[in-house]
Amino acid sequence: MSAASPVRPSVVSQALARDRLGVPSVIMFALTAAAPLMVVGALVSTGWGIVGTTGFPLAFVIIAIVLALFSFGYVAMSRHITNAGAFYSYIAQGIGKPLGVGGALVALVAYNLLQVGLYGAFGAFLSQFLADKAGWDIKWWILSLVLWLFVAVLGLLRVDVNSKVLMVLLGAELIVVTIFDVIFLSHPAGGSVSLEPWTWGALKDSAGPAFAVAVTAFVGFEAAPVFSEEARSKNRTVAAATFLGLAVMLVSYALTSWAASVSMGVDQTVKLAQQMLDTGGPFFPTVAEKGGAWAGDVGNVLLITSVAAAALSYHNTTARYAFALGRERVLPSFFGRTLPCSGAPASGSIFQTVIGLAVIVLFAVEGWNPLVHLFFWLGTSGGIGVLLLVTATSLSVIFYFLRDARGEGAWVRLIAPILATIALGYVMWQVFDNLSLLLGTEDKTAVYGFPIAYGAFAVVGIVWALILRGISRPDYDAIGLGARANTARLEAAEAAEVR
């Protein structure tokens, strides 16, 4: 963190590449952060065994409705605030700069957990696939390092290059998921299609953990404002990407998780998932059984590529949060620099790459389970962090527009955000009340470690903001202003010199 006196920065190095992303490209970053095959084939497939419920389709519907309510105010706020650190800047301008900085550190932790957790899924699934198909015994962490290097390199390239890679992978994945749905529903266990997974009875005993998994699955829907500085026709792009992303996620997650459990047998799904917890769950074995070996093989390959795509998407999001904080001197100013050749936030990208390497090495040395502990625990804990940020941002929307309606209607600036805040509060209470069930352990360190860590980082952020206010008022005043931060800092310094 830096409180250095303002200097006139390079315009190129302090700005992300503008006008490179249209609606399809921004949607790619949203959808590939929570790719359908990864969510159902890995996250839900593991969740069936740990959480012990088949009620995920209904959980997806409930969370999608809550997030849609939230998105009305979120998108409205994006029309007035353009900043790569979306949650951070919205909280800072809505309910105060200290809370905004606290939220910024929570965001960095949450997105890093989500991103590095994917290295565990990639290594575990690819290792199992190579062992089954080629007889190769390759350690998961070696394969994770391959993905780590791939993400490290692409993270420094032009953002539109990243989006094209994601577009190809996502298009193939959506086609295959649709084929799988047809296979599952045309081969129901017992010859009949059950609607039980859509009922409250299937969900109620495990609602909290199921909501946490569902929130994790939807992470990525909020990505559009993060890329707003690089988007063409920002207002139209952000709104379309946010709501269309939510809709595609809901349909693919809910339909595929339901269809898969119907084909396995609703009364057998949890039992099968628990038996196969360490080998990836029953999703792809069921695909192979009902659709043929080719379907299982194609599904496994696309699952592996979708995990890689999601890792790249989260990497881009995390790097831009670090960039936003560096540009505003909340983090050291070198984080607020971009590469002239690509416009990529280099320091934030490298920082995230170093963290990923450290986590992979730690899990490899300790021998921890890459699927349960690295992917599921860290991924869902990252999702909980995003839930905290969404709730704080929803509250911020209310206060932001109470001070000035800015021409927005009552629904988007008041009614929808109030309803969303109440609903998010309920979901958050359910999640924290059932953390031990969510993680499948009574270990107090594991259950309370992540919430305590989020609280600690939030406090550190708040304290740092207050310190910054005392030692460098221009830097403090620039918090949350995004691309206008340097201009505001320079104007404040010049005004002080005049006085």
Question: Tokens 């890792």 correspond to what residue?
Answer: 311
Measured from the Cβ of residue 442, the count of other Cβ atoms closer than 10 Å reads 9
pLDDT at 75 over 70: yes
CA atoms of 386 and 384, how far apart (whole Å):
5
Name the H helices within 335-415: 346-366, 378-403, 410
Got the DSSP string for 226-250? Answer: GGGGGBSSHHHHHHHHHHHHHHHHH
pLDDT at 476 over 90: no
Average pLDDT over residues 8-33: 50
pLDDT at 115 over 70: yes
Question: What percentage of residues in the chain have a pLDDT greater than 70?
Answer: 83
pLDDT for the residue 25: 62
pLDDT at 191 over 80: yes
Question: Tokens 């007035």 correspond to what residue?
Answer: 80
Amino acid at 315: H
pLDDT for the residue 439: 79
- Sign, CA torsion 462/466/467/468: positive
Which of 14-23, 150-159, 423-432 shows the lowest per-residue confidence on average (mean pLDDT)?
A: 14-23
pLDDT for the residue 228: 59
Model confidence pLDDT, tens digit, residues 84-98: 557 888 898 899 999
Amino acid at 376: F
Highest mean pLDDT among 148-162, 293-307, 431-445, 480-494: 293-307
Question: What percentage of residues in the chain have a pLDDT greater than 90?
Answer: 40
Tokens, residue 394? 């929803």
Model confidence pLDDT, tens digit, residues 308-360: 888 887 888 788 788 878 888 888 878 877 776 656 777 888 989 999 999 99
Average pLDDT over residues 110-117: 91
Q: What are phi and psi of 158, to 5 degrees?
A: -60, 140
Domains of the chain (ranges; CATH) run 23-498 (1.20.1740.10)
pLDDT for the residue 308: 86
Average pLDDT over residues 38-53: 88
Share the mean pLDDT of the chain: 83
pLDDT at 9 over 50: no
CA atoms of 275 and 50, how far apart (whole Å):
11
Model confidence pLDDT, tens digit, residues 379-398: 889 989 989 999 999 999 99
| Beta-ladder partners of 270 | none
- Nearest residue to 318 (alpha-carbon basis) of 73, 74, 104, 66: 104
Select the more confidently predicted residue: 494 or 457.
457
Question: Tokens 């969740």 correspond to what residue?
Answer: 47
Got the DSSP string for 399-427? Answer: HHHHH--TT--HIIIIIHHHHHHHHHHHH
pLDDT for the residue 341: 64
The model's confidence at residue 477, banded by pLDDT at 50, 70 and 90, is: confident
Longest Cα separation, the chain = 82
pLDDT at 168 over 80: no
The model's confidence at residue 496, banded by pLDDT at 50, 70 and 90, is: low
Average pLDDT over residues 274-283: 84
pLDDT for the residue 483: 58
Amino acid at 306: S
Q: How many residues does the chain have?
A: 499
DSSP state of 6: P
pLDDT for the residue 482: 62
| Beta-ladder partners of 231 | 21
pLDDT at 19 over 50: no
Whole-structure pTM value: 0.83
Got the DSSP string for 440-466? Answer: T---HHHHHHHHHHHHHHHHHHHHHHH
pLDDT at 3 over 70: no
Measured from the Cβ of residue 436, the count of other Cβ atoms closer than 10 Å reads 15
Amino acid at 11: V
CA atoms of 221 and 84, how far apart (whole Å):
15
| Residues ≥6 apart with Cβ < 8 Å to 357 | 145, 148
Tokens, residue 348? 């934030």
pLDDT at 278 over 80: no
Model confidence pLDDT, tens digit, residues 204-248: 888 889 998 899 888 877 776 666 555 555 667 778 778 888 898
